[in-house]
Amino acid sequence: MTMSTEAKFWDNIADKYAASPVKDVSAFERKQAITREHLRSDAKVLEIGCGTGSLALALSGFAGHIHALDFSSEMVRIASQKQQAQGVSNVTFQQGTLDGAAPFASSTFDCALAFSILHLVANRQHVLRNVWELLKPGGSLISSNVCLSDSWIPYRPLIRVAHWLGQAPVVHSYDRETIMRELREAGFTQVQEHDVGAEKIVAFIVAKKPG
C-alpha cells in the first residue's frame, strides 16, 4: 500500500474502530497512569497516530494542550466530534504525520505519545529523530509498542495474507530490543520499559531527551 492507500484503509474502518472497546482495559489504564506522571498542567503534548482521540481526550485534564496527529481524515473527524461532545477545548486534532518534515518548530513539546503506532511506520528511525527534535530538553517520549517478533505466533505471514486481502494495514515486525536500541540511536536516554500487565508482545517504554 502507498501512504494514500494506507490512509484510505484506516478511513474505511474508522467508524468500526471507534465503536470497538479497548481490548485490555487494565493495561490501558496503567499506561495512562504512568503517562500522567510525566505531564503537568501546562505541558504541551504531541500525540502521533491518535486514532479517534480516546487517549488525548482522556489525558486532556492533565496537560496544558495536546496536539494530536493522525493521517486518516476519518479518524480525525471522529476524534473532533468526540471532542466537541465532551466539551474539551485544549486538544487540537489534525491530519498529519512525522514521516516527512516535522510540522512544528524544534523544542516545542514537553511530552510525545506514540501508542500502538510505530509498528505501522515504514521509517521508524526518521520518525523517532523527528520526535527527538520536537521535544524540549528533558522531554519524554512515551510509546506502547507492538513487538511481533517477540512472539512465537507466526503473525507476519498471517498479517501478510490479511494485508493482501485488504483486511489489514502494512505491519512492521520488530522486537523490544530493536525499538529500545533505535530510541537510544535517536538520542534518547533513560530508555525504560514499564510492566503494565499487557500481553508479552506489548512493550511500554518511556524515554527521555537529555536536559
- Domains of the chain, with CATH numbers? 3-208 (3.40.50.150)
Rounded CA-CA distance 40/58 in Å is: 14
For range 101-110, the mean pLDDT: 93
DSSP structure class, residue 22 = P
DSSP 21: P
Question: What residues form DSSP beta bridges with 45?
Answer: 66, 111
pLDDT of res. 168? 59
Mean pLDDT of 76-85: 97
Q: Looking at the predicted structure, is the pLDDT value of residue 205 above 60?
A: yes
CB 11 within 8 A of CB 72: yes
Task: Give the pairing type, strands 44-48 and 109-115.
Answer: parallel
Predicted confidence at residue 101, as pLDDT, reads 86
pLDDT for the residue 7: 81
pLDDT of residue 1: 44
Residue 190 C-alpha cell reads as 533513560
Quick one: which of 64, 61, 62, 76 has its CA closest to 17? 76
Q: Give the number of residues written for the chain.
A: 211
Q: Is the dihedral of CA 39, 127, 50, 142 positive or negative?
A: negative
- Lowest mean pLDDT of 73-77, 90-94, 163-167, name the range: 163-167
User: What average pLDDT does the chain have?
Assistant: 91
- Single pTM value for the model: 0.92
33-66 per-position pLDDT tens digit: 999 999 999 999 999 999 999 999 999 999 999 9
pLDDT score at 75: 96
